[in-house]
Chain A
């Protein structure tokens, strides 16, 4: 059981990373990027080709992947999202759906849809706890996520950019009036989202295999995680991801794999109906 929980945490931490990228972007620019998983997928493919055909070492390949994700994210934000920010939310949802299609089909056309294996990039070995062993990919995932969360916390707490981001999230107009370059904050946040997404993709690819579709269920789970934790809450995204990962593994083992996804969504819908602000989000009473 403990072994299942740890495996669940590992999967969950990937959801947390992707959920984090979704929540950060949403808090700042008010848009949920439904194409975030596809950005991760593209970046992971880039690293794959560099690692296998290009003979590139792990670190440069990862950096290239991150750079790819950042580039796509910046382009998408600047040219397709920023122009429509003042429009009803439905337009942005649809726009990111369009980006989803372009990236998804583009990957299929460019890379082919045959799934392939993806190597674990850093062999930090396995870890023995109690009676069982945490396999290297999962261990790497847990460690990386912890490090990234810490880095993010430091970014928000100690840097000017982090402060600007928080200000923009809380009150965009006031931030603008205070001299914050909101456009820069948007770009930076989307770029950051791209970084998190790329790393999430690289971490989970060894476990799920690499194909143009491999991030779709991960995105779906990340959305669920963000909802559980409360879309407005960064800590909630992390918590939601971990909880969801564990819940999925437990349901998958004790019930059936097919039910896994369906149960996930039933839970999501139940939460949305009863407590839309999630575990850690806050409700807002809007005056007229």
Chain B
């Protein structure tokens, strides 16, 4: 059997791995820094110990209470977190942990203040948990459950949502992710895991002292996550093992240990940005079901799949008198236009005319100063981007704005985010609803991959794609959510003529077969002429012409806007848009 000291170390690894797991969910997945997890651990430990001591509850109940209490504290801490990121968040969490530590001192009646708190003995099903081996197995069992839950969670739409908001907040919001709420969810899950760890920690050490839950401990957890590997569940275990094993293996002096930790952080961040788990990535990766080779009818099958769950025909979009000013510059000045149901409308104008601003206002990134935009009966203005995604809006971005750390397939799956109803718990326990939703989305993603002819790149990380393919994935992502109105921002920018022609065909087919309306910002006149039945030309934030593409092209005001001159003044020129 394992010796006493090694068993003690193992127990420590289990507890720290749980905290690292929690912190990883927060930092590795949703990209939020916390310098205060020692405070959360303290909450879990003290709640568990006090519940067992004062209320006499059995250990499992104390554990649940600890998880719930810490989750609540996490939600509280998350409140400032929704508006902060990076170093601001680090500071806020640091402050939080300090406040918790002070509170522990100032409530001696409850926590023993400076004298500390003895953790009462616990037993489970007749087994004395003071016996190290029993305690170890208990902790391990809890940890395995927790790891299973988190693994399922990070592979679900929730986990994808976290990575998405870390990589690109605007794109995540456009896909229907309520970014602030998801940030809070990450905090709550992270805190709950840390609370469970806190309860196990209290058993492990037997005596709680407020001093031990200090900044150095918070940094230690950060070390475990970074060295182990951010965004990797395995990394939590590796990092915890590193944290516990290093001092035991190398040196005895506390200060030298800390120096080793510090050096380890520096080296790992420099050389192994994805931590020790990066080394494990060299092993062959588990792939999702292999994409079958394209068959003759694959294209038709794909379109059948995509149109399978078609919505009724979309309503009209009517924009009236839209206004917005930035620092005194009137970017949109009473803009009005409409898109009939199922129509493709081109939005044209010289640079700086306000075209992307129209999109940003329609999609909820900017708040208009005046005007209305109605999609059927619904007013679009004043609503948040993720709500608009649910209302049937989808957009593509000039810069593609893909989620760099996700695969192509996962990028597409995020596009369907607004269609997922399962919550965190459902996703974590892989409920029937969650699994059904995942299957449905996966089928749709496969269809989109087939249509885009990107089936062989499905598992490639988005950051490794060439630009032309990124734009395609961006388009595919927008289609995943079954939109009623598709807003495309210069989809052909950066594409060569062959790619552009193919893109035009795709967009036309999307419009006609999926039955959505299209609003297109595009400079490529051929594309606009081919796709759009109506063109709206704008300049200085106002509509200057509306009509068929041919009419608008010849319109003297449009020519003047682009070329700055009257057509008659140009010798032998056919007015070009």
Contacts and interface: CB of A to CB of B under 8 A. Distances in A.
B95 A93 contact: no
Contacts of B264: 98
B409 to A, nearest CB: 23
Interface residues of B, number: 59
B517 to A, nearest CB: 21
A102 B87 contact: no
Interface in A84-126: 84, 87-91, 93-95, 97-106, 108-109
Interface string B437-449: 0000000000000
A98 B91 contact: no
Contacts of B79: 273
A265 B266 contact: no
A67 interface: no
Contacts of A104: 258
A224 B357 CA distance: 36
B31 A90 contact: yes
B259 to A, nearest CB: 5
A186 interface: no
Contact of A105 (B84, B96, B256, B397): B256
B236 interface: no
A231 B88 contact: yes
Contact of B102 (A90, A94, A262): A262
B87 A93 contact: yes
A101 B91 contact: no
B136 interface: no
Given A100-B219, A220-B98, A109 B253 contact: yes
B226 A93 contact: no
A231 B256 CA distance: 34
Contact of B95 (A89, A99, A258, A265): A265
B255 interface: yes
A103 to B, nearest CB: 8
Contacts of A272: 80, 83-84, 88, 91-92
B89 to A, nearest CB: 9
Interface in B210-264: 215-216, 219, 222-223, 226, 230, 253-259, 261-264
Nearest to B261: A101
Contact of A276 (B84, B216, B222): B84
B360 to A, nearest CB: 5
Contacts of A276: 83-84, 88
B266 A80 contact: yes
Given A106-B259, A287-B360, A93 B90 contact: yes
A88 B257 CA distance: 28
A17 B105 CA distance: 31
Contacts of A94: 33, 222, 226, 265, 269
B326 interface: yes
B94 interface: yes
Interface in B92-106: 92, 94-96, 98-99, 102-103, 105-106
- Chain A interface SS verdict (over half): helix
Given A220-B94, A261-B98, A105 B27 contact: no
Contacts of A88: 31, 166
B548 interface: no
Contacts of B98: 220, 261-262, 265
Contact of B269 (A98, A103, A227): A98
Contacts of B92: 268-269, 272
A268 B270 contact: no
A91 B273 CA distance: 8
A65 interface: no
A223 interface: yes
Nearest to A31: B87
A32 interface: yes
A216 interface: yes
A223 B170 CA distance: 29
A2 interface: no
B130 interface: no
Contact of A102 (B99, B266, B270): B266
B546 interface: no
Interface in A236-279: 258-259, 261-262, 264-266, 268-269, 272-273, 276
Interface string A20-40: 000000100000101000000
A130 interface: no
B99 A258 contact: no
B218 to A, nearest CB: 9
A285 interface: yes
A102 B267 CA distance: 12
Given A26-B87, A97-B219, A231-B88, A265 B99 contact: yes
B35 interface: yes
B95 A109 contact: no
A131 interface: no
A189 to B, nearest CB: 16
Contacts of A287: 356-357, 360, 365-366
A288 interface: yes
Nearest to A26: B87
Contacts of B259: 101-102, 105-106, 109
B86 interface: yes
B85 interface: yes
Contacts of B262: 98-103, 105
A54 interface: no
A188 B106 CA distance: 44
B577 to A, nearest CB: 25
Interface in B311-370: 326, 356-357, 359-360, 363, 365-366
A179 interface: no
A222 B86 CA distance: 17
Contacts of A224: 91, 95
A265 B160 CA distance: 33
A281 to B, nearest CB: 11
B102 A258 contact: yes
B359 to A, nearest CB: 8
Interface of A: 26, 32, 34, 80, 83-84, 87-91, 93-95, 97-106, 108-109, 216, 220, 223-224, 227, 231, 258-259, 261-262, 264-266, 268-269, 272-273, 276, 285, 287-288
Given A273-B83, A287-B357, 17 more contacts: A32-B86, A80-B269, A89-B87, A90-B33, A94-B226, A95-B270, A97-B35, A98-B265, A99-B266, A100-B262, A104-B258, A105-B255, A224-B91, A224-B95, A258-B102, A268-B91, A276-B88
19 contacts: A93-B33, A93-B35, A93-B87, A97-B222, A98-B263, A98-B264, A98-B266, A99-B262, A100-B219, A100-B262, A105-B259, A109-B259, A216-B215, A258-B106, A261-B98, A261-B102, A265-B96, A268-B91, A287-B365
Nearest 5 CB-CB pairings of A with B: A98-B265, A265-B95, A105-B258, A101-B262, A102-B262
